[in-house]
Structure 1
Amino acid sequence: MTELVTWSESGGVGKTTTAINLGAALGRRGDDVLLVDLDPQPASLTAAAGHAEAKTADGTTITDVLLDDGDLRELLIEDEPFDLVPGHESLASLESTARAQGISTAEFLLRSSLAPVADDYDHVIVDPPATLNLLVDNALIATGNVLVPMEMTRKGEQSIGGVIDTVTALEAQLQRAQPDFALDVIGVLPNKVEGSSLNQQVRETLEAETETVRLLPVTVPDYNVLAKAWDEGLDVFRYADEHGLRAYQESLLEAYEDLAAIVAAHGADERQAVANTDD
């Protein structure tokens, strides 16, 4: 199973759009995919998938499950081409609640909650908020892999260092208790690319920093069809099925399909490494 988190410390870079469309691309390959919304904000993965009402619904929530009061399978919304664990507004209080209950290993709540479904999916994609907090820690620890969507701008170029530093620091912290723990940055995804000279300059700068940054060979263009799909609660593939795309917009689907192939290959490499270790 491939587990990853789409995350950047900068907001507005398209991490949630990446999560839903990557999930859709993987599902259309025939894989079983689970998306997990770990963001309490209304405009998050749950809304993008067409289930905004779940963010404020009564009953068992993801927060309850994380606090060991429920089973993640109770929350599943089964929907082609992926299943969804909806987020909830109560996630905003998870950190204070965990502190009040004296939970000393609060960073591992999601990893424990995902265990019952580990054998049911080929891929699990977690989408937390951008702000570094307990929710982000849970997402990183539960998955061990980070995909970083990034705008090819000077702001984006500056932010990538912060992401790498955060991942490295958290990895070192956890290795004191678990020496074999690792956090892997799968790569940086050039996202919302307009084709400007600045975009190209930033790309060239990152391509030169091969020791610290792996720039993925995929470019997601900044087309307004992504916003239209979001407004309708659809991934871009389902939007294309229902409304069609202009010829030039087809490159969007190809980009997410290429990204899905990279993620699937990364998962296969991880499984092979584990098999080699067991041997």
Structure 2
Amino acid sequence: MLSYAVYSEAGGVGKTTLSANLAVAHARAGLDVLVVPLDPQDGDLSYLFDVDQDRADTETDTLVHHLVGRATGEFSDIVQTVEHGVDIVPEHNRLEDLGEALRKEQEARSDFGESFPMWTQLQRVLREANIHNHYDVLIVDPPASSGPHLYNALDATRNLVLPLEPSGKGQASVSGLDDLVSNLEDQLEINIGVLAAVPNRFKGTRDQDSIIEEIETQGFDVPAILRDRTSLLEGCWRKRCSAFTYVREHRDRRRDYELDTLEKFDRLARHLEKQGDIEAPTPPQPGSLEREETEVRA
């Protein structure tokens, strides 16, 4: 199974949008995909996929219940299916208190001489649910800040996809990529692979070219560079869908530059699949929507 967390320590670099479109790119190629978003903020992946209606419901079973061993049902019961057959565990407001909930459970277990490692609980939940037998791809979308959400995401996936902004503002995070990964490995005492670095909002300036060269010099793969597509991606959030669905259902005509962006998502997904040693059974022509439209009409 291919598993990775889409992570950036800088906000506003398109992390959640990239997670959504990679999930759809994998799924439309015939792979079974599970997405586990862990960001407690509103305007998250659950919002983008339009499955956040119960995030404030105090009676519903949530991922946090499962992480602390207080689930009221099966893990599969909290999973919802969205566009292209992507499965997702919707975010809930309880994620805001995940750190406190894990610490309380750790203290309670300690009183009885039991071990409860706080950073491995997502891995445990997924293992007990046999997700390796049910899915080909696991994508976890943690928040930018360090803490229990990020650490559980990394322990469960052991791989990173790093979106970044090739700009003066993002220069520090680019220069610190090596240190970022090394520090996370030291904190969690695990090895973390970087499957790809993905520059976003690229406008083709000389300064941006030099930043991308720096990334490659550090040894990170840059299999796709996403140009600035503000209108397209803002449309995704407005209509609460992936870029694939937005172009197919909410554009009155095809725009070559938007199809180029869809192609980049598809090619990036194929690159990641190759890194994970899996092969998509029915990959479409990169960026093509023709087969999807035929299936919709049928």
The one of 221, 227, 230 equivalent to 2:234 is: 227
Alpha-carbon distance between aligned partners in 2 of 1:190 and 1:91, rounded to the nearest angstrom: 29
Partner of 2:282: none
Report the residue type matching 1:151 in the other structure.
E
CA offset at residue 217 of structure 1?
2.4
1:16-165 mapped onto 2 (5 Å cutoff): 16-58=16-58, 59-70=60-71, 71-81=74-84, 82-102=86-106, 104-115=116-127, 116=129, 117-165=131-179
Alpha-carbon distance between aligned partners in 2 of 1:72 and 1:198, rounded to the nearest angstrom: 47
Tell me which structure has the larger Cα radius of gyration: 2
Residues 174 and 215 in structure 2, CA contact (< 8 A), matched pair in contact too: no
Given the superposition, is the C-alpha separation of residues 47 and 13 from structure 1 closer, same or farther in structure 2, using an over 3 Å criterion?
Answer: same
Residues 46 and 55 in structure 1, CA contact (< 8 A), matched pair in contact too: no
Alpha-carbon distance between aligned partners in 2 of 1:98 and 1:31, rounded to the nearest angstrom: 33
The two structures have a TM-score, normalised by structure 1, of 0.88
Give per-residue Cα distances to partners, 1:64-121, cap 9 Å, x unaligned. 1111222321111012321111111111111112112225401001101111122100
Match of 1:155, SS state, is coil
Match of 1:46, SS state, is helix
Residues 8 and 15 in structure 1, CA contact (< 8 A), matched pair in contact too: yes
Partner of 1:194: 203
Match of 2:276, SS state, is helix
The one of 201, 209, 213 equivalent to 1:204 is: 213
Partner of 2:284: none
Sequence identity, in percent?
A: 32
Alpha-carbon distance between aligned partners in 1 of 2:206 and 2:260, rounded to the nearest angstrom: 20
Alpha-carbon distance between aligned partners in 1 of 2:19 and 2:205, rounded to the nearest angstrom: 25
Alpha-carbon distance between aligned partners in 2 of 1:63 and 1:41, rounded to the nearest angstrom: 15
CA offset at residue 62 of structure 1?
1.4
Residues 190 and 215 in structure 1, CA contact (< 8 A), matched pair in contact too: no
Give per-residue Cα distances to partners, 1:117-162, cap 9 Å, x unaligned. 2210000100010011110000001000000001111232311344
Residues 39 and 88 in structure 1, CA contact (< 8 A), matched pair in contact too: no
| Structure 1: gaps (5+ residues) | 176-180, 270-279
Match of 2:26, SS state, is helix
The one of 170, 174, 181 equivalent to 1:167 is: 181
